[in-house]
Structure 1
Amino acid sequence: MDTRDETCATGDGPRRWDWRDVGARDAFAYYREGVCAAFMPLAAELGRDRHAGFRFAIASHDVGGAVLNHVRATAHTVTKGARELAASPAECYYLNLQLTGVCRIRQNGGEIALQRGDLGLFTSEAMELRHDEAPDLAVASLMVPKPALDARLSERRTRFDGRPKALSLNPALGALAADSAAALLAALTQGAPARAERLQSILLDLTVEAMTPDDAAPATRAATHRARILTALSRRACDPDFDLAACADATALTPRAIQRALAQTGDTFSDLLTDTRLATARRLLADPARAHLPIATLAADAGFRDPSHFGRLFATRMGTSPGAWRKTQTTRH
C-alpha cells in the first residue's frame, strides 16, 4: 500500500479515490486503500458476498494543517485495532459531520449514534464505526492533529476524556458547530481555501466551547457570531440581493454586530461577500460542463448583477480577465 498520505496533513489536494477508477470487482479493495491513505491506518470491513455491489467516492482536502475527507459509500464497518494503531504515525481527533445514513461510534467504553446533520468528536485510538442502519452513508470528517485541538482545550481548561462526544447535542452551540462544519465542506468543494481556513478555525473554537462545562467562562461571542455570518455567506452569497441587511436578517444580528465581529479578524462584510462570489465564479468558469455558457451568465449565477463590475473585480483580484483566465483552465481538461 502506498503510505505517502498517512499523516494528518499531506501534499496538495484534493486527492480522490472512486470505485469507477478500478471497476466493481476491485472497488472494495481500492476503498480500503483509499481509507487508509486518507484517514491513517483503518480497517474497512464488509461481508464478501457484498463486495460486488460496493460503491464509493472519497475526496480529501488539506485545510489549515488538518485534512477534511468527504466520503460517500455503501454502508460498511470501519475499525481500528492494535495493528492499525502500531502503523499510525500521529495522533489525531476526528470531527465527523454525518451527511446521510447513521453511524454508531464506539471507543473507550463510550458510544454515540450520529444521524444526518449530527456532529461528533472522537480520537484516533482504537475504535469501531458501524454504518449498518441504512444502505448508504456520506460523511465529512475533519482530521485534526491532536496537539492543535489539545492546545485550545488547555486554554479553556477543558479536557477530553477519550469517549466519543455528540457535539450537536449541546443546546447552545451544537447546531452552530454542525452548520460551521457544513460550511467548511462547502468552502472546500467550491475552491475557496481562505474562507475554508477561517471556517476551520471557527469550527475548532466552537468544538472547544461545546465541550466546556457550563460553569466555565462563557463562549466567545465574536467567534459564534463569525460562524453564523460565514455560514450565511456560504449559503446565500450567490443571491444578488444578499447584502449586509439580508445577512443581519439571516443571522439574527444587527449590521453593526456583524461589522464588529468581522473586524476582530481584519475582515469586512463587503470583502468576504466579494471573495465568496469570486470563488464561486472561478469554480463555474473552470467547469467544463459550463464551457458553452457566456461569462455574463456565470457571473450572474455567482451573485454579480453587473457583468462589467464583475469583470473589473475579477481582473483586480486575479490579474487577468475572466475570459483569459477561463482559457487557462479549460486547456487543463
Structure 2
Amino acid sequence: MGEPRSAEDTSWSSAGLARPEALNQWRDWAASTIAPIEVTVFDADAFAARWASHGLGQLRMLHLHAPAQRVTHTGAEGSSGRAAPSIQLVYSRHGVLKTRMGGKRFNVMPGQFVLLDNTQFYEMEMETEHECLDLMMPQGWLEKHLPDPAALLARPISARDNWGAPLGALLEAMLDGVDQAPLPRPLIAEQLGSLLGLATGFHEPSETTRHRGQLARQILRRIESEYADPDLSPELVAEECGISKRYLQNLLAGSGTSFVQELNATRLDRASDMLGDPRARTLSIADIAFRSGFLDPGYFARLFRKRFGITPREWRAGHAPQS
C-alpha cells in the first residue's frame, strides 16, 4: 500500500497564464526552492513549463518540464538566496543540459546526472525542450553517505551503466509514482543516499587527501567570487589560505590546472557574458575588460581570441560560435 499523498506535494503549470505572469511565477518559485536564477527563454513568444514537487524526508524532489532556455544562478558566492543551502542532483531525462560551474564546461546527457552546489555560481543552457529531475539534498544529510560531496561536484555520471544503473532505476520509479512507494519516504531517501555512494564510486579518502581537496576547492571558489579584482594573485590567495604559493600551485596542478589558467578562464567567461548582455551595450570593450579583471585591453583581446576563436567585438556583434 503506497504512502498517502504528502501535504508537501505541490505542482504548477504555466497553462492558462499570460507569458509575463508565468515567467515571473517560474522565477519566483525557483528563487525560493532552487536558487536565485535568471531565466532567458529562447522563444520569446512561447513560454510553457510545469513542475511537480515532492517531499522525501529531508530531501525535495523536483520534476521539471521546460522549454529551450538558459538558466543562470545569480546569487552571490556562498548564497542560495531564499532557497535552503543544498547539493542538487540534476538528472536529465530528455534534452542536453550544457553546464558551466567552477571553471568547468560540460554536458549532462539524457540518462546522466550531476551534482551541483546551489550556493555557487552555475549556468545551464538547454537548446531544446527538456525534462529533468532536480533532487535538493541538504549537505549535512548528504555527508552521511558522501563524506566529501564537494569532491564530486560538476562530474556527469551515467545513471544507466554499472553502479549508476540501480540509482537511475530508483529515480525513474520515483518519477513514475512516488505516491505508490511501498516504503515511507524518509526510508526511500536513505536508499537514494546509499545508491548515490555506489554510483559515484565513492571511497573514503585519507585525511590528507580530503584536506588537499578542500584547499583546492577553497582556492577555486576564491577565484570564482573575486575574479574582477585585478590584484587577485596566487600569492594573495595562498597567504589567505595559510599556505605557500608553491603548495597552492601543486594543489591545482594535481587537478590538472593552474591558478592563472582558472583565473583567466573565469574572467573570459564573465566577459563573454557581458558582451552578449543587451544591458551592457553602453560599455566599451575596454570597460568590459576592466570589469572582468583585465587591466590591459590588448592582452584581454588576445586571450579572448585564443579562447573563443573570434575577437570581443565580433562576439558582441553576434558571431559567437554555437556549441
- 2:89 counterpart residue number: 95
Q: Distance in 2 between matches of 1:94 and 1:129?
A: 13
Deviations 1:244-301 (A, max 9, x none): xxxxxxxxxxxxxxxxxxxxxxxxxxxxxxxxxxxxxxxxxxxxxxxxxxxxxxxxxx
Q: Which runs of 5+ in 1 are unaligned?
A: 1-10, 217-333
Q: Which residue of 2 aligns with 1:52?
A: 45
Give the 3 Å change call, closer, same or farther, for CA 214–92 of structure 1 in structure 2. Answer: closer
CA deviation vs aligned residue, 1:26-70 (integer Å, no higher than 9, x gap): 3222221222233232222225xx332010011111111111111
Asked if 1:119 corresponds to 2:113, the answer is yes
Aligned to 1:168: 158
Distance between the aligned counterparts of 2:202 and 2:20, measured in 1?
Answer: 50
Pair 191,43 (structure 1): closer, same or farther in 2 beyond 3 Å: farther
Match of 1:68, as an amino acid? M
Say whether residues 1:179 and 2:169 are aligned partners.
yes
Match in the other structure for 1:17: 12
Distance change (3 Å), C-alpha of 1:45 and 1:180: same
SS at match of 2:7: coil
* SS class of match (1:147): helix
When normalised by structure 2's length, the TM-score is 0.54
Distance 1:141 1:82, change over 3 A: closer
Aligned length: 198
Q: How high is the sequence identity, in percent, across the aligned residues? A: 20
Residue in structure 2 matched with residue 318 of structure 1 by the alignment: none
Separation of aligned partners in 2, 1:18 and 1:140: 16
1:61 aligns with 2:51: no
One-letter amino acid matched to 2:92: Q
**Partners of 1:194 and 1:21 in 2: how far apart?**
36
**TM superposition shift of 1:122:** 1.5
Q: Structure 2, unaligned stretches of length 5 or more? A: 1-5, 206-323
SS of 2:150's partner is: coil
For the residues of structure 2 that align with 1:34 and 1:98, how far apart are their CA atoms? 20
Query: Which string of whole-angstrom CA distances, capped at 9 and with x for unpartnered residues, describes residues 184-235 of structure 1?
Result: 22232x454835443332222121233345798xxxxxxxxxxxxxxxxxxx
CA distance in 1, matches of 2:159, 2:134: 18
Q: How large is the RMSD of aligned CA atoms in angstroms?
A: 2.8
What is the rounded CA distance, in whole Å, between the counterparts of 1:104 and 1:73 in structure 2? 14
The equivalent residue for 1:141 is 134
Q: SS of the residue aligned with 1:51?
A: coil
User: Structure 1, residues 151-205: CA drift from partner, whole Å, max 9, x if none?
Assistant: 3222xxx5532631222179531222211211222232x4548354433322221
Contact 2:159 2:166 in 1 (8 A): no
- In 1, Cα distance between equivalents of 2:184 and 2:126: 31
